[in-house]
């Protein structure tokens, strides 16, 4: 740990929350908490969690080599790891991490927001981080750390001095949100959107709404809920919020009856100029991230900021600093045969809702001279038995976005390719890897190319390949 590293936990203070016995020396203090030696920083507490493929106990020695201050290990491995360094020995390392997370929550005076929803959790969480950071020290989840280990890990890292905490909470199955939100105990719950995601596990849209509504169960009495007015089955969600102990429910969206309502959203290059009405109060602001979906998300952010005591006008001003994240609409200028082209990286994930949003974004982007709108689309996974049809139905969105060329990869996207107008169909390939060369060969200066698919469809490597070939780094080499 570097000299000036802040103390997150004292060595002694860890024993109680972890319910551990000590083996070896007591560390003076730890500066952070890690479950992955690849990202561990010197001075961190390494918690040896057992995942699907790896057991953290096999990395305890590596953790100490990288400068871990101490490790949390399970009794079953206490003998063979004895002497490796300061060890907190527990029965179950994940339970111990939860204990630490709950202790961090209990000692925190921060205003806490939990974010769930079918899409837009990370985008909204990052926008909340940007806004809250303008008002005080803010702690938020890394990436999408939203599951049974990501949530307690993020809690365990909550610094004493944080004034705001933003936690992403996700789920693939009913019942998963309840225990997570019980740990987070937010003052405010945000549901970003409801969409047919993980339908394979969830069965129906009703089941999805009910699962998201679990988030209300953990909100402190007198807290607030921020819910999407445009969601299918909105009434069901609103009723669930009303049945919970939450005192205050605010809706946001484009719907006439939304409490926070988007009145207009005009693209201005990298972002949008937004006119909105937040609980009756008209407001105009600039959002640094493009897309109507991001504009809608920003309403939830403003409501949350206002409900946690941040003045609305200052919160809105901070939204100019918001940026789309990698894989979620981040833009980059490529150079193709000496002329600029635009790459929109949406490769992080995809479902019908986010695909429509991304296509709308492509439609809002005007190509340069001689350029075309190009959509490169990989399969949307985990959609259940209607997956093929949900792909084919996107043909309309392609037309609405005035897409000139469609490149598609994967068996499900084949259904979209076949449903698309003849003149739009550029190339279909069985896999993303096979789509890379034809797409790269087709690119011209002036083009806008948007790349999107579920993470498992491997569209990300296409983005990386185009960046290597046409990105700033490639130009520098020349």
Ligand X SMILES: Nc1ncnc2c1ncn2[C@@H]1O[C@H](COP(=O)(O)OP(=O)(O)OP(=O)(O)O)[C@@H](O)[C@H]1O
Kindly tell me which residue out of 77, 157, 306, 328 binds ligand X, with binding defined by CB under 6 A: 328
339-346 vs 405-409, strand pairing mode: unpaired
Residue 211 binds to ligand X (criterion: CB under 6 A): no
| Radius of gyration from C-alpha coordinates of the chain | 24
Q: Is 455 in the site for Mg ion (CB under 5 A)?
A: no
Site for ligand X in 232-291 (CB under 6 A): none
Q: Compute the least distance from the CB of residue 11 to ligand X, in Å.
A: 34
Mark 134-173 with x for binding to ligand X (rule: CB under 6 A) and - for no binding. ----------x-x-----------------------x---
Site for ligand X contains 84 (CB under 6 A): no
- 11 contact, one of Mg ion, ligand X, none, CB 5-8 Å limit per kind: none
Q: Choose between 144 and 335: whose C-beta lies nearer to ligand X.
A: 144
Here the tokens at position 252 are 């946001």
Cβ at position 122, least distance to Mg ion in Å: 3
Residues within window 422-461 making contact with ligand X, judged by CB under 6 A: none
Specify the residue for token string 């169960």.
217
Nearer to ligand X, 77 or 373 (CB): 373
User: Which is nearer to Mg ion, 147 or 402 (by Cβ)?
Assistant: 147
* Using rule CB under 6 A, residue 349 touches ligand X: yes
Rounded Cα gap, residues 334 and 468, in angstroms: 10
Stretch that binds Mg ion, among 143-151, 212-220, 304-312, 422-430 (CB under 5 A): 143-151
By a kind-dependent CB cut-off of 5 to 8 A, residue 119 interacts, out of ligand X, Mg ion, none, with: ligand X
Q: Is 217 left (phi over 0), alpha (psi -120 to 50) or beta?
A: alpha
CB of 349 to ligand X, least distance (A): 5
Among 36, 78, 144, 442, indicate the residue that binds Mg ion (CB under 5 A).
144
Rounded Cα distance, 278 and 274, in Å:
12
Q: Does 123 bind ligand X (CB under 6 A)?
A: yes
Residues lying near ligand X in the complex (CB under 6 A):
117, 119-123, 144, 146, 170, 192-193, 293, 296-297, 328-329, 346, 348-349, 353-354, 357-358
């Amino acid at each position: 740990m570097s000299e000036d590293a802040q103390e997150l936990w004292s060595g002694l203070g860890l024993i109680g929350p972890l319910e551990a016995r000590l083996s070896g020396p007591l560390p003076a203090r730890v500066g952070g908490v890690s479950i992955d030696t690849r990202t561990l920083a010197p001075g961190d507490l390494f918690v040896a969690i057992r995942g699907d493929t790896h057991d953290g106990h096999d990395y305890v020695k590596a953790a100490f080599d990288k400068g871990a201050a101490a490790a949390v290990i399970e009794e079953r491995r206490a003998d063979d790891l004895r002497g490796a360094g300061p060890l907190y020995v527990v029965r179950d390392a994940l339970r111990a991490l939860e204990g630490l997370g709950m202790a961090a929550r209990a000692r925190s005076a921060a205003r806490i927001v939990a974010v769930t929803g079918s899409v837009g959790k990370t985008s909204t969480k990052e926008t909340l981080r940007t806004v809250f950071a303008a008002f005080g020290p803010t702690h938020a989840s890394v990436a999408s750390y939203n599951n049974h280990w990501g949530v307690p890990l993020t809690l365990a890292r909550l610094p004493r001095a944080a004034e705001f905490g933003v936690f992403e909470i996700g789920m693939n199955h009913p019942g998963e949100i309840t225990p997570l939100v019980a740990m987070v105990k937010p003052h405010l719950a945000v549901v970003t959107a409801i969409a047919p995601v993980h339908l394979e596990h969830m069965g129906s849209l009703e089941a999805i709404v009910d699962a998201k509504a679990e988030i209300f169960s953990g909100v402190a009495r007198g807290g607030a809920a921020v819910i999407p007015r445009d969601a299918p089955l909105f009434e069901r969600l609103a009723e669930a919020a009303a049945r919970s102990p939450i005192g205050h429910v605010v809706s946001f969206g484009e719907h006439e009856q939304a409490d926070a309502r988007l009145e207009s959203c005009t693209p201005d290059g990298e972002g949008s100029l937004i006119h909105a009405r937040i609980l009756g109060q008209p407001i105009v602001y600039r959002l640094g991230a493009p897309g109507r979906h991001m504009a809608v998300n920003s309403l939830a952010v403003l409501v949350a900021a206002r409900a946690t005591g941040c003045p609305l006008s200052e919160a809105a001003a901070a939204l100019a600093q918001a940026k789309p994240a990698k894989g979620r609409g981040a833009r980059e200028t490529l150079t193709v045969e000496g002329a600029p082209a635009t790459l929109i990286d949406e490769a992080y994930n995809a479902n019908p809702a986010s695909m429509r949003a991304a296509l709308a974004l492509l439609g809002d982007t005007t190509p340069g001279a001689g350029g075309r709108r190009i959509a490169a689309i990989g399969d949307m996974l985990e959609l259940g038995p209607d997956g093929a049809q949900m792909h084919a139905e996107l043909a309309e969105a392609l037309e609405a976005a005035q897409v000139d060329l469609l490149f598609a990869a994967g068996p499900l996207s084949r259904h979209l390719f076949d449903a698309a107008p003849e003149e739009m169909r550029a190339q279909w390939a069985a896999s993303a890897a096979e789509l890379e060369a034809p797409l790269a060969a087709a690119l011209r200066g002036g083009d806008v190319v948007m790349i999107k698919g579920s993470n498992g469809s491997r569209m990300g490597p296409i983005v990386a390949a185009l960046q290597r070939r046409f990105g700033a780094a490639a130009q520098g080499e020349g």
